[in-house]
Structures are given as structure tokens and as C-alpha cells.
């Protein structure tokens, strides 16, 4: 049987309960899941790359066959370097589909051997996005239902420093 490696890329700024839900379920479907945290120089994240990796490692520490790493090159190149056959993407709502469909088509054009698969988070996480979490936390709101405790603590501390 072929060992299938899936790569779940994202900025994860911050990692939400929706992200971890998808990762947990992916870990039951694939032999190995790589959570690939993008440097993404076009965005200005709250957490730097090292902090995002550390938070993901903390939240996902108990999951077997889940690896956390960062990357700063083209996703399809990184996936090939790591031996991944599947790019895993999350879909929260129909509004995500058009963008994700475009990405999947571009990735297929760049590397036809990589497949893109979509997973939806559990219903209770379908409305959560990192940008909404950052906005709520930035305005002093409680984000404990949306992120794990270590992420909430780090986010609160980081935003207090910025203000």
C-alpha cells in the first residue's frame, strides 16, 4: 500500500479550532500530514513565522504523524521536496470555493502529479477565520471559543504589546 502524505498549507495567523479540526481529521485519512506554515511576505501577520510554528507545535503536539514546518517557496515545489501527493485545503463556506478552485487549478497546472483535496471543518467551526479572530481579539473581545488556550494567551499578550 502506498504511503500518502498530505500537506496542509496556510499562514495560520493564528491557528484556529477550525484548522485543528481539519488537521485531526486529516490525520485519520493520511499516513502523514505536514502542516506547512507559509512565510507569506505579502501579508503582515500578528505572529512571526517562528511563533506560528511554535503555537502549532504546542496545539497539535498529541497528534501522531503530524509534522509542523515552515516554508518560504512555491507550495508545489515544497510539496515535491517533502514527497507529498496531496495538497489539503479547508472550505468553510461557498464563498471560499471560487478562490480555492482557482488555487487548485493553478497548482495542478504547475505540478500535475499533486492532487488537491478539500475538507470542511465541523459545523461549530465553519464561521471561524483567522482574520475575524485577530479583529475580535484586537478589539478586546473573547476569542476562547475560536482558538486553543495557548493561542488565546499568546494573541492577547501580542496585541497588548502592539497597543
CATH at residue 96: 3.40.50.620
Q: Considering its fold, how many domains does the chain have in total?
A: 1
- H or E stretch including 87? strand 86-90
Q: Residue 14 sits in which domain range?
A: 5-127
Residue 10 lies in a domain: yes
The pTM of this model reads 0.93
Residue 78 CA to residue 36 CA, distance in Å, equals 9
Annotated active-site residue in 32, 89, 130, 148: 130
**Nearest residue to 73 via CA among 40, 105, 102, 95:** 40
**Active-site hit among 24, 25, 80, 92:** 92
Mean pLDDT score, 22-42 = 94
139 domain-assigned = no
Active site residue 19: yes
Residue 38 lies in a domain: yes
**pLDDT tens by residue, 25-34:** 999 999 999 9
The grid cell for 114 is 499533486
Long-range Cβ contacts of 157-163 (<8 Å, 24+ apart): 158/46, 158/47, 158/51, 159/46, 162/46
Residue 152 lies in a domain: no
43 in catalytic set: yes
Average of per-residue pLDDT across 55-60: 97
Summarize pLDDT for 88-117 with one digit per residue, the tens: 999 987 778 889 999 999 999 999 999 999
Question: Which of these is catalytic: 2, 3, 43, 109?
Answer: 43
130 catalytically annotated: yes
Does the pLDDT at position 1 exceed 70? no
Amino acid at each position: 500500500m502506498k504511503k500518502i502524505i498530505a500537506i496542509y498549507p496556510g499562514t495560520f495567523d493564528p491557528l484556529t479550532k477550525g484548522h485543528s479540526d481539519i488537521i485531526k481529521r486529516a490525520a485519520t485519512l493520511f499516513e502523514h500530514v505536514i502542516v506547512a506554515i507559509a512565510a507569506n511576505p505579502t501579508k503582515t501577520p500578528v505572529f512571526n513565522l517562528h511563533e506560528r510554528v511554535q503555537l502549532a507545535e504546542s496545539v497539535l503536539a498529541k497528534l501522531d504523524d503530524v509534522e509542523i514546518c515552515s516554508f518560504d517557496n512555491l507550495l508545489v515545489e515544497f510539496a515535491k521536496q517533502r514527497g507529498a501527493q496531496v495538497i489539503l485545503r479547508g472550505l468553510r463556506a461557498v464563498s471560499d470555493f471560487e478562490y480555492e478552485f482557482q488555487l487548485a487549478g493553478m497548482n495542478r497546472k504547475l505540478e500535475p502529479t499533486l492532487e488537491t483535496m478539500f475538507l470542511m471543518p465541523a459545523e461549530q467551526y465553519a464561521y471561524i477565520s483567522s482574520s475575524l479572530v485577530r479583529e475580535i481579539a484586537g478589539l478586546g473581545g473573547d476569542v476562547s471559543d475560536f482558538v486553543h488556550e495557548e493561542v488565546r494567551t499568546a494573541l492577547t499578550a501580542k496585541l497588548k504589546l502592539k497597543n
